[in-house]
Amino acid sequence: MTDALTLLGNRSPEEFLAHYWQKRPLLIRNALPGFISPISPDELAGLSCEPEVESRLVLERGGPRPWSVEYGPIAESRFAHLPETHWTLLVQECNRYVPELAELRDRFSFIPHWRVDDVMASYAPAQGSVGPHTDQYDVFLIQALGTRRWQISTAPVAEDNFLPDTELCIMRDFAPNQEWILQPGDMLYLPPGVAHYGVALEDCITLSVGFRAPSHAELLSSFAEHRAAQLNPAQRYADPDLKPPAHPGEIAPSALAQVQNILQHSLQDETAIARWFGKYITEAKNDTQREENTPLDENGFLRAFAEHCLLQRSEAARFAFIGSDLFVDGQHYPLSRELVFAAPLLCDQRQWHYAALKEKLQQPAFTSLLTALYNHGYVRFV
Ligand code: SIN
Ligand code: CO
């Protein structure tokens, strides 16, 4: 049995995608047999104290009012003053700090990498939860330590169904129609919009493999901004065939048709859309910090690669390709015909062994590309 089959409860990725993905929740018992949390509660608390790590504490009790939230970095001393129960610590992008969680993210490669966001980890003592809520993204909730009760409701959630006086979006009324107790290794898949409520029954860690789904508004505004910057300001609305209007106060259908034409012209440019989307979707969050590498020239890079044997993508950098265009961290690398092989090679996998690349490294253009990626901190030696 392959990993993907076990992970999906004896279903093939095709079956899972056809019947569950974005459609209905699925509980998979023992999706990760024998799973042991690759991060401990103490390590998670330690991460939340780091300024570059995005974290938050959700306090049903122990804050100034029920359901308050405190954003990281969390002071180390804060942990000594938390109540015994009823709070949750959440840490985003743990795949960047814990290699096993980067590997875990790879297990979801039956979904395109650009759709995957991060692996978040949460720790909660008994009764800890973030309240009943919905998310706008798909999520795989993996129980990593202890047990958690999950309740869900697949009924539509009214827009005004949220608690007042808290910045968290917690449902005021939640009537679950399904309930499970998850043990380590169990996994619950939820499509966007399904109300869920997970309560720790004891000290517990839950991992969330989260996805990205840009809003239509974000897509439109980002593309328009990108496209507008490329257009020549001298290109203007023009009407050389203008006839005297019956109503000078009217905006005529012919004028509107021309405006629509101008907009459609940009929206039909497939190359412009591909170039923009590749950059847009691989861009890092504004505050992403990347580990710097000491710059090397091509020979230095080859020597270092031969010595370390293993090169890997930085979890802080997103890689994707469209045909012969490689996109890394919002940068576009058009690949020559001889280098086209590098696009899937660099984007589909996360690690590269020197021995496997040795022959390809004979090509100076490939070595130059890897050296450039290395010097930007997008790849590093293990
Ligand atoms: C949690 O890990 O406690 C919350 C995860 C979620 O509900 O999305
Ligand atoms: Co949620």
pLDDT in tens, 209-263: 999 999 999 999 999 999 999 999 999 999 999 999 999 999 999 999 999 999 9
Atom 4 in ligand 1: which residue has the minimum CA distance?
A: 130
Ligand index nearest the alpha carbon of residue 197:
1
Q: Which ligand minimizes its atom distance to the CA of 192?
A: 2
Residue nearest to atom 5 of ligand 1 (CA): 208
pLDDT for the residue 377: 96
Instruction: Give residues (CB < 6 A) around ligand 1.
Output: 88, 122, 130, 135, 139, 196, 198, 206, 208
* Full set of structural domains in the chain with CATH: 2-211 (2.60.120.650), 288-381 (3.40.366.30)
DSSP 268: T
Between CA 58 and CA 62, with CA 60 as vertex, the angle to 5 degrees is: 90
Tell which atom from ligand 1 comes closest to the C-alpha of 129.
Answer: 3
340-362 average pLDDT score = 97
Among 122, 157, 187, 207, name the best residue to mutate to test ligand 1's pocket (greatest count of ligand atoms within 8 A of Cβ): 122
Coil/strand/helix, residue 187: strand
Q: 196 has which bridge partners?
A: 133, 152
Cα–ligand 2 centroid distance for 56 (angstroms): 14
Omega into 33 within 30° of 0, i.e. cis?
Answer: no
Dist. CA 363 → ligand 1 center (Å)? 47
Atom index in ligand 1 nearest the CA of residue 200 equals 3
Question: What's the whole-number average pLDDT of the chain?
Answer: 96
pLDDT of 2 strictly over 70: no
Please report which confidence band the pLDDT of residue 1 belongs to, taking 50, 70 and 90 as the band edges.
very low
By the 10 Å C-beta count (0-12 exposed, 13-18 middle, 19+ buried), 166 is classed as: middle
How many whole angstroms separate alpha carbon 339 and alpha carbon 324?
8
pLDDT tens digits for range 179-197: 999 999 999 999 999 999 9
* Nearest ligand 1 atom, CA 122: 2
Nearest to 182 by CA among 200, 208, 195, 194: 200
Atom of ligand 1 nearest to the CA of 148: 3
Pocket test residue of 130, 133, 134 for ligand 1, highest count of atoms within 8 A of CB: 130
CA of 185 to the centre of ligand 2 (A): 18
What is the pTM assigned to this prediction?
Answer: 0.94
CA distance 124 to 58: 10
CA 44 – ligand 1 centroid, Å: 15
What pLDDT score does 132 carry? 97
With CA atoms as reference, report the closest residue to 193 among 23, 28, 27, 69: 23
- Cβ(207)–Cβ(101) below 8 Å: yes
pLDDT greater than 60 at residue 6: yes
Tens-digit pLDDT profile for residues 133-168: 999 999 999 999 999 999 999 999 999 999 888 888
User: Residue 38: left if φ>0, alpha if ψ -120 to 50, beta else—which one?
Assistant: alpha
Best of 60, 86, 120, 202 for a ligand 1 pocket test (most atoms within 8 Å of beta carbon) = 120
CA of 140, nearest ligand number: 1
**Alpha-carbon 192 to chain mean position:** 14
What are the tens digits of pLDDT across the range 13-22? 999 999 999 9
8 Å CB contact between 7 and 28: yes
